[in-house]
A = this chain, B = another copy of it.
């Protein structure tokens, strides 16, 4: 675990996760919805935590999203999040909604708390009913504990096609008090209705009101989870939930608090770390690709261009083939609906410049190929027309992606 050297720092905490901030416990069990792996988990807080959430922009939204929205709307406080994998409870009609309420009610009973302090979510196959005869006893088996092992079991319980577990932890000082952010996530295909969805859960012991937490989460999500793409798809179940226990003892945070920006930055680092881990674990991926757009009219435009480039199948296959094919980058940029001057574009792969003022620069193909053989690739594009900048993350497109997604559901 790193140690904070000064009050301005934000440090990464190795080996930390959702249980590192004060007040949180986690659990993961096997209910047999899935054959072998854990498939039901929960995160609990010892007090009603200020909570905020963002949801998929898909117009088709799974039943548990509606139930979770109702819970948070009540007073902005959660004490538990219960998640199952293996079944998304999406496109399941009226019965699906009843099942999501039953799942929430069972958890409220088991953990002895009001229903509206429980959030529920699901990830997995679309269009099939939840096996409630497995979920309900499973909830009773959940024994949340404040250890990394239990956070890891929770993470296992929410995985689908993910190959690696995804934890994040950052610390900083606010009002001289140490504030910790922990997080976990799943997601491999941006969506894969076979076994679907991007989910992330972030905990913190910061003291903050729900509305301010929601504002911070909205801003941070736009620059992190909304800036990754594996296959351009958007699930019916995507959800990010943040819970803040308040145990750090800082003066309650709000937008005019002198350390508001630092709080948001620490939350952003936590979310960015998880978002990049999802992109790197994209279905079939062999590389993490970061696109950094500079010199755009606005930060928003830069982010939009970055995401268009990182999402291009032709850019993704070129990176898989370690081919410094910058033509595909400028093409993706050109159809990104972002303001640009076609004569002013610079492109670099790592530190190797390939285009300057939209004119090809001669470079060593060998060096470029060697750079693209690395696991972390950065593409930098300078539009040279403004001060806006933004990043986006994705992965390469490989044979393995096709294999995973062409596989029959059953």
Give the docked Cα–Cα distance between A191 and B312 (Å). 11
Give the docked Cα–Cα distance between A233 and B316 (Å). 12
Contact assessment for B397 and A335 in the assembled complex, using a CB-CB cutoff below 8 Å: no
Give the docked Cα–Cα distance between A326 and B233 (Å). 14
Counting CB contacts under 8 A, is A176 at the interface?
A: no
Q: Mark A47-64, 1 if CB is under 8 A from B, else 0.
A: 000000000011111000
Give the docked Cα–Cα distance between A329 and B355 (Å). 39
Give the docked Cα–Cα distance between A235 and B317 (Å). 16
Knowing A231-B314, A312-B233 are in contact, say whether A323-B408 is a contact too (CB < 8 A).
Answer: yes
Contact assessment for B360 and A406 in the assembled complex, using a CB-CB cutoff below 8 Å: no
Chain B residues in 8 Å Cβ range of A148: none
Knowing A325-B194, A330-B91, A331-B191 are in contact, say whether A313-B232 is a contact too (CB < 8 A).
Answer: yes
Counting CB contacts under 8 A, is A81 at the interface?
A: no
Contact assessment for A60 and B334 in the assembled complex, using a CB-CB cutoff below 8 Å: yes
Main secondary structure of the interface of A (DSSP, over half): loop
Contact assessment for B405 and A342 in the assembled complex, using a CB-CB cutoff below 8 Å: no
Contact assessment for A59 and B334 in the assembled complex, using a CB-CB cutoff below 8 Å: yes
- The count of chain A contact residues (Cβ–Cβ below 8 Å) is 61
Q: Mark A328-372, 1 if CB is under 8 A from B, else 0.
A: 101111110000101000000000000100111000010000000
Counting CB contacts under 8 A, is A403 at the interface?
A: yes
> In the complex, how many angstroms separate the beta carbon of A224 from the nearest chain B beta carbon?
19
Q: Mark A79-107, 1 if CB is under 8 A from B, else 0.
A: 00000000000110100000000000000
> In the complex, how many angstroms separate the beta carbon of A339 from the nearest chain B beta carbon?
9
Counting CB contacts under 8 A, is A236 at the interface?
A: yes
Counting CB contacts under 8 A, is A125 at the interface?
A: yes
Contact assessment for A231 and B313 in the assembled complex, using a CB-CB cutoff below 8 Å: yes
Which residue of B125, B313, B320 is within 8 Å of A233 (Cβ)?
A: B313
Chain B residues in 8 Å Cβ range of A192: 314
Q: Mark A129-146, 1 if CB is under 8 A from B, else 0.
A: 000000000000000000
Contacts beyond the supplied A90-B327, A317-B402, A399-B402: 5 A-B pairs with Cβ under 8 Å:
A61-B342, A231-B314, A236-B334, A314-B405, A399-B399
Can you list 15 A-B pairs, Cβ within 8 angstroms, ordered by A? A59-B333, A59-B342, A60-B330, A126-B330, A127-B327, A189-B314, A232-B232, A232-B312, A313-B401, A317-B401, A365-B410, A397-B402, A399-B399, A399-B403, A401-B402
